[in-house]
Amino acid sequence: MKILFFGDIDGKIGRKAVAKILPRWQKKYRPDIIIANADNVTHGRGMNQKHFDYLSELGIDIFTAGDHTLERKEAEALLNSSEIVVLRPFNLEGDFPGRGEAIFSIRKKKLLVISLLGRVFMDEPVNNPFQAIDSILDKYKSSEYDLAIVDLHAEATSEKHAFAWYVDGRVNAVFGTHTHVQTADERILPKGTAAISDVGFCGAIDSVIGVDKKEIINHFLTGKNFVLKIPEFGPAQVNGVLVEFGKNKLAKKIKRLQEKVIIK
């Protein structure tokens, strides 16, 4: 089985870039299931129904989440729908709509997909992701599924590295997201778990992690708040990871993917 995972899709330029690249990658790599992080899909903050429909029609099967997922008014309806394959972070403190984990049946395969937030350098009040994964795996220990996949949306590579080691052999893949910068540390751990600290993002190259570079430079120069302005046109990159699993369900190959396109 092959799983293709896209890093954070950021704004209009990110959506258009994925629309250009996805058919090419489908033909070249022939993934069985496609997953994407949807934390920044709609103007950089969460995802609305329109953009969910658009990306689903492109071929994305499941969407994971992050710290901006619940910022849109329509988030509750999207997350609460049993027919929509969108998760929110499992370990948010408090009572929130939607699910943070679920078993999805896609093309005769059953995937346990888990969305978690890290704690290091993150502002959101969240429960310990290490303890959270233990509770989830205990909950599903008698369930039948083909693979367990985790999106750990976190800032620190140290936290993501430690988490991957902690779950080695207990989940099949750990995809780090959030920093928007693809890391060159993809690997298969000794007990068969594929891991990468950050898949990267799908968005504007001439930016600071997706946001208008002038806004961010001025923020660092003056300390003033910046406007979340995302370039809509120009050079863009699409970052992803392809993992192939053997019959024993252990990862046997992990390949970091990146391609650049011009969005007009």
Q: Which residues are catalytic?
A: 68
Comparing CA positions, the residue from 12, 39, 52 lying closest to residue 230 is: 12
Contacts of residue 36, Cβ cutoff 8 Å, sequence gap at least 6: 5, 6, 7, 9, 18, 55, 60, 62, 63, 64
- Rounded Cα distance, 104 and 114, in Å: 11
End-to-end Cα spacing for the chain: 35
- Rounded Cα distance, 191 and 236, in Å: 36
- Beta partners for residue 257, in sequence order: 240
- Rounded Cα distance, 234 and 37, in Å: 22
